[in-house]
Chains A and B, each alone.
Chain A
């Protein structure tokens, strides 16, 4: 969040405005998130909402509040890739659920930004779990395109959006096949046609596009592309609405990453092959249960992956080779892998990312399995997903200039017994109260001898 938004947040907040603090945490076990192993007796300094320094022997500037980190762990805030945070209050309550738009006339043009609710309890629960930033996607439902996802922060303030329209999402594989008319053949035809239409529309519109001083913000779609405002192009024999076609221009031009959800090794190779026709595509694989079987190809293509951390069942015919070693094997082959896709509110909550990362470390003790070192595992839920989301150096890492997102844990963050004690986002300490903590406090005892529980608040 930039400073202007911070001020806005402060003005709108009902309680006392939260301001970025200058502080240092000393003598803690510090994991910087960059893949390195944690270091004991280290210091982290945050000033003006940014990380200034992190490591052993870091000097503390004068006048900065000092927090004793003895016995604590300090890490960057976790980055949760591919979540539904802010898009629903309870998935099963249809009225509250904006995670997909089954009957929408649009697909690629959908944009999660205006639907985001920073006050959702799920945002608070994830934040209490140490997650400070996330990417949020809209599930494809009316077409193979889910629309444009956003990068968000989980600060307790009115604005979640860090980067709107950060990526486009398309489903291929079995799910995409069903959406496209019943077969992978159709899904690929629909995708290729859409990208061709977008490319053609980009060229034919005769309206200058792209970012720059002439950009026009319409407030309802990609403001960086003026072709949305008007068009002189004739469009015959097309499948996409103009709105969807315009939304795909930055994808086909390589300005906006295209996240492709696939599981099977063969499907992964088909996705990598798209670049023969659309060389500018900036691909990210999502899911990739069988990624280990195509790891060399993925690595050679330089395509990053957001993988389900511990997927090990043949849940479908496209996931027959699923194994918890998938992430470890891809990483060993040189693929940049983030853990993600924990979109839900059951066992697959974003706040369990740390637990799943710990599971990948546990695999290193199993003969024949491939896991990750502690540092790698932590990076897979911090710096790596941040880099994939275009936030490299700004999030998920404790390096100078990064956002002041910092978590003070009561122990090893990947361990089940550990939890965040204090969470800072952009240098602002976050509140710890939410619906769950209030229920906890109300029902810590069942004493109603004086008054019903309804008065206990």
Chain B
């Protein structure tokens, strides 16, 4: 952070150009089209790891389960078994005594701008908002991601983050495609791309688009303008689809992917009334919203969100930084959970992503004081299986279930305590961070030879 910081996410309101996520793309080309839907394919491959048995820890499985004095087994990159102390450890497993420690699935951030607004945050690397037209469905965040962003390693070491969705910013009504990454150092973005993850499409409603374009004397300058441009954009895409999808059209290909259900809509939207309009819009145009992001007023419409199966990706306590955040309350997550709606804690911040567990704990505590008791194992789900679900990767990661990717965090204490940190983090069963081994902390190219290289950050 800088002392004179402006928060991107919030984008607040301050620097617009700075800042601003869903499921869709597949790794195979559609049969009914000559379009290659995956022209920038993942080259990520799991790194080698030892067959490992974590023994004696409190295990939160990410799906709402808790095992005290549990055993977690993984090998060949996959979870092999999760059980109690009497779960047999097969021969050849490296046994890690985790007594007094905690194990969770890898933490997942559904809303990050790492790489597209990297550190250092200099103009030369400000690549998160194609703020030149109100809708830019044709841009893909992956083409902006700088894989050397030192923020990735901080998210890994301090936050236990193993997967994250990088979104284009919120200047635009339609910001473009997101990309989901494995949080592994790589020379290329393709080397980080989460294999098989669907694409998301970022949409934004509310203050940001109308401010950016209204400020330039062009549409949209109002919320009704926002809606009009959104509707026409989808109508144009539907027309292109109806006319046989002739010719390559990057923008319409993305929008068609949304309507076809291959690309998941990640919708930046703060206010309850605007979320209701976005739900109506999705019905009018025939697509599904995966999650509302920055949804500070979700608690006012928890019933509507539950009925529509839409997750709310939220902060614990960000409040009052712009008009549309003025009704934020710290009980938001608890009220949603209590109503049976899907809760995700997101960061939208290169610092916040290092402490998603802490944000969840604060939200849990606010709920408890309002009389809503949410067990720790349910709270962990806000950071694991729920974001995985809203990103379309929950069949592969997000919980410690046999056969899933061995994305695992060993915490040196209760992850919902301020006094705890990740001790070891495995991604696909490969040890990628170890607090006890300074050489097991990634150092990006940018940091080499610079003050602070290899320091404990």
Contacts and interface: CB of A to CB of B under 8 A. Distances in A.
B33 interface: no
Interface SS of chain B: helix, strand, loop or mixed?
loop
Interface in A330-357: 341, 344-349, 351-352, 355
Contacts of B420: 362
A175 B3 CA distance: 9
Contact of A440 (B4, B329, B339, B365): B329
A365 B349 contact: no
Contacts of A90: 13, 320-323, 325-326
Nearest to B360: A416
B420 to A, nearest CB: 7
Contacts of B451: 265, 290, 293, 320-321
Interface in B441-457: 446-447, 450-452, 455-457
B370 interface: yes
Interface in B415-457: 416-421, 435-436, 438, 446-447, 450-452, 455-457
Interface stretch (B49-57, B105-113, B281-289, B298-306): B298-306
B435 A366 contact: yes
B120 to A, nearest CB: 5
Interface residues of B, number: 76
B176 to A, nearest CB: 23
A288 to B, nearest CB: 9
Given A175-B4, A346-B12, A325 B456 contact: yes
Nearest to B321: A345
Interface SS of chain A: helix, strand, loop or mixed?
loop
A285 B130 CA distance: 38
Contacts of A286: 3
Contacts of A314: 119-120, 150, 446-447, 450, 452
Interface stretch (A232-240, A305-313, A391-399): A305-313
B361 interface: yes
Given A314-B119, A320-B450, A345-B320, A439 B351 contact: no
A443 B7 contact: no
Contacts of A439: 327, 329
A345 B323 CA distance: 12
B335 A308 contact: no
Interface stretch (B165-173, B191-199, B238-246, B311-319): B311-319
Contact of B417 (A290, A311, A416): A416
Contacts of B158: 312, 324
Interface string A408-435: 0000001111110000000000000001
B154 A417 contact: no
B174 interface: no
A48 B365 CA distance: 34
Given A89-B320, A91-B322, A358 B419 contact: yes
A355 B151 contact: no
Nearest to B2: A315
A359 interface: yes
9 closest A-B pairs (Cβ-Cβ)? A92-B13, A92-B322, A358-B418, A321-B452, A321-B451, A416-B361, A287-B3, A345-B321, A368-B456
